[in-house]
Amino acid sequence: MNAPAFVHADPAADAAALNARLQGRSAGDILAHAIGELFPGRIALVSSFGAEAAVLLHMVAQIDAKTPVLFLDTGKLFDETLAYRDELAARLKLSDLRVLRPDPKALAAQDEGGTLWFRDADACCRIRKVEPLQRGLAPFAAWINGRKRFQAATRHALPLVEADGAKLKFNPLADWGPAEIQAYFDRHDLPRHPLVAQGYPSIGCAPCTQPVAAGEDSRAGRWRGRDKTECGIHTITAITPSSLRTEE
């Protein structure tokens, strides 16, 4: 696959061009192109180490285990997620795992008692997820994540590549379904997050994640009963210097 000749003036146009170029390519091809050709040293994988995260982590590790992996430790995660993170990182030999945490000053000012999630979930996600991720992504021109169209009605139109402020965001598993994910786990003998067997097909922070019943969207247990479906890391656009982009 030849590297594109896009410049950094218009991330939306770059994303559109890449979407056209990458249609029909395998997730592994897309990742190899993004990591090895488009953004060498300037791209990170953002992983929740949740229910399906092992697939993308394994693919990236096969391409380059030194690829930075950003993990948001909100301070509200299940203990099982932290243990699973450590297990996968060791098994896949991930050598640049970066743990992003909330700013202690922001927590002291806005969430001293740790119950902001109940009073104002958007504000809680902002200080525990959105702002730490913005800081963690600052050195990078592009990032990779594991969202898929089947996961929720709000994700049905997910493209392979999208603009995120001045960065590009890759969704190489956008068109994967549950059967492909399971097959990948089986083929590579990857361990499942322990909460999957307890009815959690999508796993976020403990106070905001419940099991899901048969027939529900896989994300139906996230912020159940509340008017909220996303934490904000995929709905805001970060403003970063366009000079971080590559020119080819």
What Cα–Cα distance (Å) separates residue 135 from each residue in 7, 77, 100, 103?
A: 24, 20, 8, 10
User: Binding to ligand SF4 by residue 207, rule CB under 6 A?
Assistant: yes
- Counting contacts by CB under 6 A, is residue 203 touching ligand SF4? no
> Alpha-carbon distance 190 to 230, whole Å?
27
**Rounded to whole angstroms, what are the CA distances from 81 to 119, 141, 172, 204, 226?**
24, 28, 23, 9, 23
* 24 contacts: CB under 8 Å, gap ≥ 6: none
Q: Is 233 in the site for ligand SF4 (CB under 6 A)?
A: no
Tell whether residue 50 is a contact of ligand SF4 (CB under 6 A): no
Residue 205 appears among annotated catalytic residues? no
> Looking at beta carbons only, is 15 or 53 nearer to ligand SF4?
53
What is the CB neighbour count within 10 angstroms for residue 19?
A: 14
Residue 192's region, left for phi above 0, alpha for psi from -120 to 50, else beta, is: beta
Task: Indicate which single residue of 76, 155, 193, 219 sits in contact with ligand SF4 (rule: CB under 6 A).
Answer: 76
To ligand SF4, the closest distance from the beta carbon of 209 in angstroms equals: 8
> Which of 68, 132, 136, 204 is close enough to bind ligand SF4 by CB under 6 A?
204
Closest by CA position to 63, among listed 11, 28, 114: 28
> Which amino acid, one-letter code, is at 119?
R
CB of 42 to ligand SF4, least distance (A): 27
Is position 117 an interface residue for ligand SF4 (rule: CB under 6 A)? yes
130 binds ligand SF4 (CB under 6 A): no
Size of the site for ligand SF4 (CB under 6 A): 13
Residues at the site binding ligand SF4, with contacts judged by CB under 6 A: 74, 76, 117, 121, 124-125, 128-129, 204-205, 207-208, 231
